[in-house]
Amino acid sequence: MKVDFCHKTVLAPIAGYSDVGFRKVCAMRGADMTYTEMISAKGLVYGSDKTEDLLHTTFSEKIKCVQIFGSEPDFIRRAVEHKALEKFDVIDINMGCPVPKIVRNGEGSALLENIPLACEVVKAALSGKRPVTVKFRIGVTSDKIIAVDFAKAMQDAGASAITVHGRTRAQLYSGKADWETIAKVKNAVDIPVYVNGDITDKASYDEAMRISGADGAMIARGALGNPLIFSEIKNCVPDGYSLKADILTHFDTLLEYHHPAYVLANFKKHIAYYCRGMQGQKQIKLAGFEAKSIDEMRDVIEKYFV
250 in the same domain as 214 = no
254 in the same domain as 277 = yes
- The domain boundary, picked from 233, 264, 296, lies at 233
* Dihedral of alpha carbons 7, 36, 84, 193, sign: positive
pLDDT at residue 1, as a whole number: 62
- Please tell me the distance from the alpha carbon of residue 62 to that of residue 251, in angstroms, as a whole number: 20
Whether pLDDT at 177 is above 80: yes
pLDDT at residue 168, as a whole number: 97
Q: 119 catalytic, yes or no? A: no
Whether pLDDT at 47 is above 80: yes
- Please tell me the distance from the alpha carbon of residue 89 to that of residue 74, in angstroms, as a whole number: 21
pLDDT at residue 192, as a whole number: 97
Mean pLDDT (whole number) for 257-282: 96
CB 79 within 8 A of CB 44: yes
Mean pLDDT (whole number) for 11-28: 97
Question: How many domains are there within the chain?
Answer: 2
25 pairs with which residues across the strands?
none
- The domain boundary, picked from 203, 233, 263, lies at 233
- The domain boundary, picked from 195, 211, 233, lies at 233
Mean pLDDT (whole number) for 266-279: 97
129 in the same domain as 22 = yes
Active-site entry in 26, 97, 119, 275: 97
pLDDT at residue 7, as a whole number: 78
- pLDDT above 90 covers a percentage of the chain that reads 95
For 145, phi and psi rounded to 5 degrees? -90, 110
On whether residue 238 sits in a domain, the answer given is no
Per-residue model confidence as pLDDT tens digits over 93-114: 999 999 999 999 999 999 999 9
- CATH code at position 75: 3.20.20.70
CB 214 within 8 A of CB 188: no
Distance of CA 48 to the CA centre of its chain: 21
On whether residue 114 sits in a domain, the answer given is yes
Whether pLDDT at 267 is above 90: yes
Mean pLDDT (whole number) for 17-32: 98
118 in the same domain as 186 = yes
Domain that holds residue 291: 243-304
